[in-house]
Structure 1
């Protein structure tokens, strides 16, 4: 019931009223608060913002000196005059002088180079393909055009998951066949022969042709309710016959109940 409002100079306002204090709901505290606080304290990195705890205080003697950061040149060594070494070239040998014989080097570079070139196998050119009109080439092996998959060990074999799926499908088909045989033994189901199936199929097609002939004879304009209902009825009957014909053409073995 809503409170009655009195004018300010009313007698009823002289009666003191009890103050209604609304109880404040307790503040929500998460049960994971303690774990969060512990994780925050444990994961807190030391020396993250304020630097190391005990920093080395620089001594007043190591102050910055003048020209201390400029690059210094290496100290030059004193020149040593070698009187025994002459800078002059030797004289040109005379025509009658004979060269010194019998001196051989450790390695005959001419023979070794010749033998290496003779015994070397010619480098096989890697197959490439051009992917632009200007002849920009790429390696054919990395293009995906080389059939590397035929070199796999399990190439041409049926995967394990497909074998498992085929086994499950075969097992389900065997269970269904056994169930059908049991039902046929009990006389609950009967298998249609091929001749009966063909006769039923021909009858369904004949009925569809008759309905189709009636459908072709309908007027183009369906301006009345009777014409509209007749067209819908023929549509539904033709669709039902089409589904039945599809079932009889798709499945060769058909079972029907004796009831």
Structure 2
């Protein structure tokens, strides 16, 4: 235990040694340093965090009132039921109201009333429905029980969103067809124009005709015979028969020998 803490003395420790200086590591520099500087200059704005240097002091007349920061209700509007005119009666005349007195007229109210009733067109009663067992009524038109959608301008027509969706599907199909055609055109053979096709056919026919004429000229004639007849020369005849065995003289009386 003591040896580890206090090592034994040695003569080698008396040898002078060079002092080792600690090498300082290079200073760390972030690669985003220039970018941070640029962002700081771009996003810099006056009075962004601390506010303006001078703040306007509020006047004493505009002091904070009680409940001034609470939300306020909207202005009150008169409410009226839509079917008040159906079962509401005219108001009762006040006690201070006085009827008109002393008015005279020569009008025959009975005859006038009869003529008006005869000439007037009978009014059509408004369709109503009772929604309680006591007979409380409401207008049928505004109840939601009548299909009002048949009176719309676009009733019976295709909705706009369906037309738009149909156009999108059609456009997508056209783009897909064009893409398939383009891919097939790239992989397929080149389609020649009319003029190129005509030139190629003409040249092929011309070559076939020239080739056929050459073959006809080279082939021997079967009907008219050969164009040139080879006449055997005496040298060829003698060379041919010189190799044959000679016959006896008696057998050749034609030569007169």
**Do these two structures clear the TM 0.5 threshold for a shared fold by scoring above it?**
no
Give the greater-gyration-radius structure (CA): 2
Structure with higher RCO (Cα < 8 A, 6+ apart): 1
**TM-score for the superposition, normalised by structure 1:** 0.31
**TM-score for the superposition, normalised by structure 2:** 0.31
